[in-house]
């Protein structure tokens, strides 16, 4: 699966890594693949949080980990309160 973010196209993988976002930077090959990896073992609110977390990294690779972590948890909490669940 591929998803478009404002920074480009990211290939989405399912793997044992809980969550990971990779993207090329000024020190590596510009043609390196942008990707997000999400563990298929994640469920419920934690899965929602990790998907949002890695998506925020894709949208702003320069954001601090602390900001991304807080923002993802806040957004996931709001969406969860509104009843967003995986079918």
Tokens of 83: 């009843």
- pLDDT tens-digit readout, 6-61: 999 999 999 999 999 998 765 555 567 899 999 999 999 999 999 999 999 999 99
Q: What is the structure's pLDDT at 29?
A: 57
Q: Span 67-81, mean pLDDT?
A: 98
User: Does the structure show a pLDDT above 80 at 69?
Assistant: yes
Three-state DSSP state, 14: strand
Q: What is the structure's pLDDT at 32?
A: 75
Tokens of 57: 């990294």
Q: What is the structure's pLDDT at 30?
A: 59
Closest CA to 75 of 53, 42, 47, 43: 53
* pTM (2 d.p.): 0.90
Distances (CA, A) of 23 to 2, 10, 26, 36: 14, 8, 10, 9
């Amino acid at each position: 699966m591929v998803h478009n973010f404002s920074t480009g196209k990211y290939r989405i993988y399912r793997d044992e890594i809980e969550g990971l976002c990779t993207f090329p930077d000024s020190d590596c090959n510009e043609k390196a693949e942008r990707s997000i990896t999400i563990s298929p073992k994640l469920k419920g609110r934690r899965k929602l949080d990790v998907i949002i977390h890695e998506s925020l990294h894709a949208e702003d690779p320069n954001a601090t980990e602390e900001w991304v972590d807080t923002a993802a948890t806040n957004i996931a909490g709001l969406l969860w309160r509104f009843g967003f669940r995986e079918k």
